[in-house]
Amino acid sequence: MTYLTALGLIAALSVPGAPLTGQTEKPPARIHGVVRDGKGAPVEGARIAVKDLDQVTVTAADGEYAFEAIRPGRYWVTIRGPGFDPQRRAITLESGEDRDLRFAMDPLAAPLAESRTREMDSLSADFRGRAESSLDRYFLTRDDIERSRQPVLGAVLRHYMVPLVPLTGLRYATGCAQFETRMVERARRMSGGEEIPMISINGARPLRGRTLYEVEVNEIEAVEVYRGATSPMGFTSSENQCGLIIIWTK
């Protein structure tokens, strides 16, 4: 994998139809697996969804499930079941890949399971809207992070050549430079002078004062990167002039 363009990511995330004119259609991917509880018993009736593709299936009595003919790309896969803690996975499917994606679900009291399900849904409800809202947008899944073999987020972004310099005008670039000057002697030493985007954890209000080379990737499931003064989570542009990174934890 080389340079991740925003246009390519948006197409992979939100347009599961035919390829562009003149291009050869790539072989579709497939997802299959089995769902078990904490004791290893199969879970029947768990609902699994591939977000943005309107594809949903339910596990059989043996806990197995499958999705056929999925366009290669980056996706969220969610799973829920009555009395179980819901889960989500961020995956990158290659052309022709047959992915064995297994889940082990932990039991949870019904009211708490319902609350966690609503929380998971709310965190990712506008994911597609964010994908379509900005051309300066990049998305990395857990697969991408692991394949980079990098220990910290800044190194992962460098590995995939995800640029952080805003493209939305001189005044925003100037604002980033001023922001960097105030905070950044340490960051320049660690990141080679890159601008410091705001960092949001699971959609919470952005944090200040951390560099991307201080964020370890062990517990990161996915990363969204927005350059410039975009505000996809409702944050004001003044908070977001140096870009926004949303980190989704496991």
**What are the pLDDT digits (tens) for 165-178?**
554 444 444 555 55
Map residue 177 onto helix, strand or coil. helix
Res 110: pLDDT: 79
DSSP state of 234: S
Res 83: pLDDT: 87
CATH superfamily of 27-125: Carboxypeptidase-like, regulatory domain (2.60.40.1120)
Res 146: pLDDT: 97
State the pairing for strand pair 198-201/244-249: parallel
Res 66: pLDDT: 97
Say if residues 247 and 199 touch (Cβ distance below 8 Å). yes
For the entire predicted model, the pTM comes to 0.76
List of the chain residues with pLDDT < 70? 1-24, 123-124, 135, 165-196, 207-210, 228-242
Tell me the C-alpha distance between 230 and 239, whole Å.
Answer: 10
Res 145: pLDDT: 97
- Determine what percent of the chain falls in helix, strand and coil, rounding each to the nearest 5: 30, 30, 40
Res 170: pLDDT: 44
Say if residues 150 and 162 touch (Cβ distance below 8 Å). no
- Delimit the domains of the chain by residue range: 27-125, 134-249
Res 227: pLDDT: 76
Tell me the C-alpha distance between 65 and 28, whole Å.
Answer: 17
CATH code 2.170.130.10 for 134-249: yes
DSSP state of 122: H
State the distance between the two ends of the chain, measured CA to CA, in whole angstroms: 23
Beta strands in 117-156 (DSSP E): 137-141
Beta strands in 59-162 (DSSP E): 64-70, 73-80, 87-93, 98-100, 103-105, 137-141
